[in-house]
Amino acid sequence: MAKLAVMRVRNGLIGLVLVVLLAACDQVELTPAAVLPAVMPTAVLPTFSPEPTLTVTAVPPTPTLQPAFQPTNPPTTTPVPTSTPDPYAAYTIDILAARSYGGGLLEIIDTLETNDSFTRYLITYPSDGLTIYGFMNVPNEGDDFPIAIVLHGYIDPDAYETLAYTRRYADSLADAGYFVIHPNFRNYPPSDSGPDFFRTGYAIDVLNLIAIIREQSQDPTGILRRANADDINLWGHSMGGGVALRVMTVNNADYVKTAVLYGSMSGDEKLNYERIQMWSGGQNGSFELAALPETLQAISPIYHLERINASVSIHHSETDDVVPPVWSDDLCQRLQAIDHSVECFMYPNQPHTFRGDGDALFMARVVAFFNAH
């Protein structure tokens, strides 16, 4: 009975709820969309502001350059930049003295002349990859001849001939029993052309020649077998005198016995190239004179006279109007000041290249000087 009463009550409540709901539905007008309102509430959907319109200009992409070689493990340290090489370093006395010379052979190309005293040959030899021509006077009889290397002064290369004005001096030395070698230098045809700043190229040609003589004279069957490579003597006129001064400053070995400087250029390259600029109308010497003062001192033999071992004989005309005689006088005084073996002669009324009695006296003194040493 109790359960039946409870069920009746629950059924009655459910029925009441249904009546109320139906009454509410009668008050709502249904649209053709059945249950959707005509306008959706705006509050339930979020609103968004439109994105601004951007104008984009197309930029071409930057090309990526690939190196020709990319290391597998690139360095982690920052590279240190290298300094610019000194354009004057190769011409200093110290660098010239430290490098090596020689290589190759002196060769006879032709026989130029034979007389009662000597035979003259046309020769070539290599110098730093260049072929240098010259001539050689070899006494006809005897052996173990002291060597005289004769160095000519400036001549216009276009007018130069292998048998130049210095031939008469070379012949006098050959008559006196010297094995004479006379190089043309580079840039003097038919020799090859090559660099010659501060005229160091000419000095290198002589230094290479000396080294070749030293080596080749040891061959008992060679063309220099009759030359005494332990007795080498230098003779230089004007430009050749300046070359001889550099050579004996660079090569101060005891086998370079003597040097004759005849109307010689200065051992101070500043003085030389100031004069060369004047002679050339400003066309030559700009590179040399642009060197710093300390660089010019490192290059100029006049500041390295203590290196010289050879005895020196200086000859100059008092009236030389080409190379100032004061340059030879200065060198003489500097050598005397350091107690170096030197003799000095000034000649009155002679041109730059001596003539007549003055020339004969000069060569008599040269032969006596060579013989004494």
Domain boundaries, the chain: 95-312+324-363
DSSP assignment letter at 191:
S
Residue 349: how many other CB atoms lie within 10 Å: 10
| pLDDT one-digit tens code per residue, 60-89 | 444 444 443 344 444 445 555 556 789 999
pLDDT digits (tens, 9 = 90+) for 85-143: 899 999 999 999 999 999 999 999 999 999 999 999 999 999 999 999 999 999 999 99
* Residue 126: other Cβ atoms inside 10 A: 19
- For residue 115, the 8-state DSSP code is -
Q: What angle do CA 123, 125, 127 make, to 5 degrees?
A: 145
At 143, is the secondary structure helix, strand, or coil? coil
Q: Residue 149: left (phi > 0), alpha (psi -120 to 50), or beta?
A: beta
* Of 87, 91, 86, the residue nearest 298 (C-alpha): 91
CATH homologous superfamily for the domain 95-312+324-363: Alpha/Beta hydrolase fold, catalytic domain (3.40.50.1820)
Residue with tokens 């100031």: 274
* Tokens encoding 366: 């040269």
3-class SS at 235?
Answer: strand
DSSP-assigned letters across all residues of 69-114:
---SS--SSPPPPPPPPPTTGGGSHHHHHHS----S--EEEEEEEE
End-to-end CA distance of the chain: 165
CA 77 to chain centre: 31
Tokens 């340059």 found at: 327
Tell me how far CA of residue 357 lies from CA of 217, 317, 330, 363, in angstroms. 37, 13, 26, 10
Q: How far apart are CA 171 and CA 178, in angstroms?
A: 9
Tokens 């004005």 locate to 165
CA distance 32 to 41: 19
The span from the CA of 225 to the CA of 96, in Å, is 28
pLDDT of residue 199: 98
pLDDT of residue 85: 85
225 and 217 Cβ atoms separated by less than 8 Å: yes
Sites in the chain below the pLDDT cut of 50: 1-76
Per-residue model confidence (pLDDT) at position 84 = 75
In 199-305, which residue ranges form alpha helices assigned H by DSSP? 200-216, 239-250, 269-279, 286-289, 293-299
pLDDT at 124: 98
